[in-house]
A and B are shown apart, each in its own frame.
Chain A
Amino acid sequence: MADGNIVMTHLVAGYPNLEESRLAALAMVAGGASYLEVQFPFSDPIADGPLIQGACTDALNEGFSTDKGFEFLASLTAETDVPVFLMTYGNLLMAPGVENFVERAAESGVAGLIIPDLPYDYDEGLYEAGKKAGIPVVPVVIPGIDEERLNAVLGMTPPFIYTAVRKGITGARTTIGEDTVAFLDKLSRSGAKVLAGFGIREKEQVDLLAPHVHGTVVGSALVEIIGRCAEEKRACSGEVKAFVESLI
């Protein structure tokens, strides 16, 4: 693990193309990312904002497929020791069958699965399949979650919990209030490693969250950099690495 802040960086597999996204992932690792969150693009990513939806659409237009995604993950997990988490939406699991998808994820070496639209009570067998394949499923919670639901989630003793630090979609900047901090402390006391994200794009925010969580997730800010580089047709590794370094 890093000496400074623990940061999970996010990227959309295949955006702007598979090779560029591989180089971006390695640049994140070089910059000091402690975890990678790789999103498999979906045509209708309702929990994401316009920026990530645009990246998903571009990646799909570029020919991304689930097969290519798993090949991408396998090569990435072979190239780096940094744990790689796979994030996507339920229908990508439903299409080939949840168990089948989870097995393939396990074979590609991922450290965990984040599927926001398959919550524990509508999970289509995801948690069971994860247990069987030996991959933790990372529940996603939010501040203000109903107490009973939070207890049900914590009762499953997940090794990791992913939490948004505000309501809404990805992308916009987040201000972190006292209530949020109290919620993060409560989650951390459960023993799960808490990963907190949504609108985190500056070191100041990461520093503020660091004492209260295991790690901070930075997504849209990086997708933005990668997109800008693609548009200007220039390599993005240097900028991505420098940005991640600046957070740690």
Chain B
Amino acid sequence: MAVYNDFFGPYGGRYVAELLRGPLDELEAAFKEAMDDDGFLKELNRFGKEYIGRPTPLLYAEKASKAVGGADIYIKLEGLANTGAHKINNAAGQALLAKRMGKSRIIAETGAGQHGVATAAVCARLGLECRVYMGSEDIKRQRPNVFLMEMFGAEVFPVESGSKTLKDAVNEALRDWASSSADTHYLIGSALGPSPYPDMVREFQSVIGKEVKAEQEKRKLQVRAMVACVGGGSNAIGFFEPFIHSGTPRLIGAEAGGTGPEEGCHAARMTGEGRTGVIQGYKSRFLFDGDGQVLHTHSISAGLDYPGIGPQLAHLGDTGRIEFTSVRDDEALEALRFFASNEGIIFALESAHAGAAGLKIAEQYKPGEAVIINMSGRGDKDIFITAKALQRDKWFDFLNEETKNG
């Protein structure tokens, strides 16, 4: 395979208790071997075409571009992938790898639920047993995705510890894996966690960037900037991957600015008060207090409120290759409305952060120059949040009626 890192500058590593060391060593060996095997890569490619629906389109957002009056805005529509988000790329890669390793059971953690849905779907397709850990707070926020996971036959396990969100779901999944690794693969959903996960997830997600690069060359686009939202950062690192080692274009990561810069109101690790720490098995930038206790975070998007960031993104932020910006909840909602009314596209709330940042960046360039926004997922799952935020009264009337009729 192309690159194997362990550390990205000062970040990364395998900071785990000894009991997780064996499973990680086994996974690393299997991953390296698979990525060197043409048979595995062909199988992955076929799965991508036939089941995921790759390649996803790169849409010229003509009306949006004219409204902004700056660069030509393009949108990579990962939301058109099966199950509605980029998460399926990694879920498919890891599940095929797990099957190759002889594992019969998959565990996963999920925040917004897209990773859980993708994992559950792939497990259904491949005949693997599946349990998804999900914070009970996130279950409340993302009921439609819980419903889908259960339709696919997965067991959704509510996590009641800590803040009852994604990071607590990660803790539970790690605990499960510590005693079940003989027959179980832990399918981490973002480019973080102990090595080899950051490398592995980036490789499986790099299909996004490779397709963008091919389209760029085919259409001879003068790409000035690429923008992606960053929770853990799997869509961002996959989207950026083929461009990281060249000096251009500008790569921009949009973090959750939440409701403001006060502690607990956002998840801005790179643009806020993030500091170097060791949490959940890897070293990166995290939001924690002076004693090292992880801080509560907030975002309107359940997928962006994770207190850490993938180690490679943290390093690329430090070196300046990736610029980070933060986008508040209300700005993301505004971008969601803008693209819906101008392009007929509903961004996932996570991706709407990239949409908002992309609109600002596009203003800095002129027609003929391109800015590409990664719509990492589409917004079907967020309807209970966005409808409440944008059409409160009508939505409540509808829900009341449904309840009465139910």
Contacts and interface: CB of A to CB of B under 8 A. Distances in A.
A220 interface: no
Contacts of A9: none
Interface residues of B, number: 34
A229 B107 CA distance: 36
B17 A117 contact: yes
Chain B contact residues: helix, strand, loop or mixed: mixed
Chain A contact residues: helix, strand, loop or mixed: loop
A46 B174 CA distance: 7
B175 A169 contact: yes
B14 to A, nearest CB: 6
Nearest to A93: B292
A242 interface: no
Interface string A106-138: 000000000011110010100000000000000
Interface stretch (B124-132, B275-283, B337-345): B275-283
Contacts of B44: none
Contacts of A60: 293
B234 to A, nearest CB: 20
Given A90-B278, A94-B277, A145-B18, A49 B175 contact: yes
B161 A42 contact: no
Interface residues of A, number: 39
Contact of B18 (A42, A50, A96, A116): A116
Contact of B179 (A46, A146, A168): A168
B14 A122 contact: yes
B17 A116 contact: yes
Nearest to B23: A167
Contacts of B277: 91, 94-95
B13 to A, nearest CB: 5
Contact of B294 (A44, A96, A116): A44
Given A46-B280, A57-B161, A92-B291, 16 more contacts: A43-B288, A43-B294, A46-B171, A46-B174, A66-B291, A89-B292, A90-B15, A91-B294, A95-B275, A95-B288, A117-B15, A117-B16, A122-B13, A164-B18, A167-B179, A169-B178
Interface of A: 42-47, 49-50, 53-54, 57, 60, 65-66, 89-96, 116-119, 122, 124, 140-142, 144-146, 149, 164, 167-169
